[in-house]
Amino acid sequence: MRKLTSFITTLALASILTLQAGFSAQALANQVNAQQANTQQAYANFPAAHTNERGIPTLAPMLDEVTPAVVNISVQGKRVTRQRLPEAFRFFFGPNSPREEVREQPFQGLGSGVIIDADAGLVVTNAHVVNDATEITVTLRDGRQFDAQVLGRDEESDIALLKLENPRDLVSINIGNSDQLRVGDFVVAIGNPFGLGQTVTSGIVSALGRSGLGVDRLENFIQTDAAINSGNSGGALVDLEGNLIGINTAILGPTGGNIGIGFAIPANMMNNLVEQIIEFGEIRRGVLGVRGGNLTQELAEALDINRAQGAWVSEVVADSAAHKAGIEAGDVILALNGTPVYSFAELAAKVGTIGAGRTVELTLLRDGNELNVTVELDQQESQQITADILHPALRGAELSTRDQQGVVVSAVETDSPAARLGLRENDIIVAVNRQVVSNTRELQNLIQNTQGVVALNLLRGNSQLYLVLPN
């Protein structure tokens, strides 16, 4: 009936046009054919790999292959909370009474994950999805459920690798090359937003190499306008061929909901970390051994450099991988393994996730000329030390290297000498008596070899302060 009505309408329209405008039957036929051709061209340009039986573009065949590899994750666990007790408590119960109340609070959480190895039952998700979890349940699209254990995680990149117990009849996803992405490529996000169950949204790659989001970790995100919401964390970002090109991890929104700005960890970064967990049982973070910042327009003009993007090297650490490869202060790093580098944060994220001992090729700009150097990455010192071996006033603090950019105070015991000195958890020690430190070994050497006053330069949020160690 719909085709007949359309045909009658077309005939009526043809009669009116012929009578009123003097169009010939051949001209009308040409017009109709042109309209049909334009319609077919519009369908051909639609970003879908398939069409259905009616010739309409659709992503359904691709999703039929991919969605079985995307899972929902539910977790349960307990988190320790600490609350400082009022001084009146000590007045009634004596000076030896506890200064804080420690409680274990049960929690539940939801997220998403991606099966990357069907035979081994390996699932990738975000580290923050499974933090402090004592029970992890993975639910497939077909409703089957499996218990899972954490094989390894990396807090700085927010990646965790899970293993399903007794895996069977699973489907894994094909991992694509995220270095080949371009702004404007169409992408699809798959996950479990708000616990609704598996949900698919689409969009484009809005930007690459995003950093500076204040999430306090290695940042080299794919930005997309595909809708990502709470619960999508750990889910898949795929291209139109169904290849995994990112792990959804964060959103930018004033109310915690989607406003078209979502972020995913590039698949290449994820894959490097997963390979290290499988091979070593841990992350062996690569270190280049340079300090620096972004090449800005102002800096480029001051240095007479005809570029405004890249990673500018202000200092090369002695005996580091960069020093051995011949990298010099003042160099601008333009690319890593042939892929452009737009910021120092992007460089740090890529180097930090590639893995120690791996060899990379860097493209440098020096004195107006481009050159390539090969670098074998060092391994980051991952040692965490109790600070009392450095100085009695630091007793009660735990320190660890933070990506060669300083020493982070990872814990401070209540009412300890370190706490009374003024140290707080998450403080970052960046210098001793104005001499920059990048790891715990340098911090220890400077403190123990300094005669007289020892002043620690700290970063606390957006503020800087000094703490002086007593003699």
Residue 382: which H helix or E strand, with range?
none
Q: Cα separation of 440 and 385, whole Å?
A: 8
Q: Cα separation of 352 and 277, whole Å?
A: 14
Which of 195, 256, 267, 264 has its CA nearest to residue 231?
195
Q: Which residues of 113-136 are buried (b: 16+ CB within 10 A; e: fewer)?
A: bbbbbbeebbbbbbbbbbbebeeb
Tokens 């051995």 found at? 324
Spatial contact of 229 and 194, defined as CB atoms under 8 Å apart: yes
**Number of residues assigned to the chain:** 471
For residue 340, the cross-strand partners are 335
Residues annotated as catalytic (active site), given as ranges: 128, 158, 233
How many CA atoms does the CB half-sphere of 422 hold within 13 Å? 13
| DSSP codes joined into one string, 423-468 | --TT-EEEEETTEE--SHHHHHHHHHT--S-EEEEEEETTEEEEEE
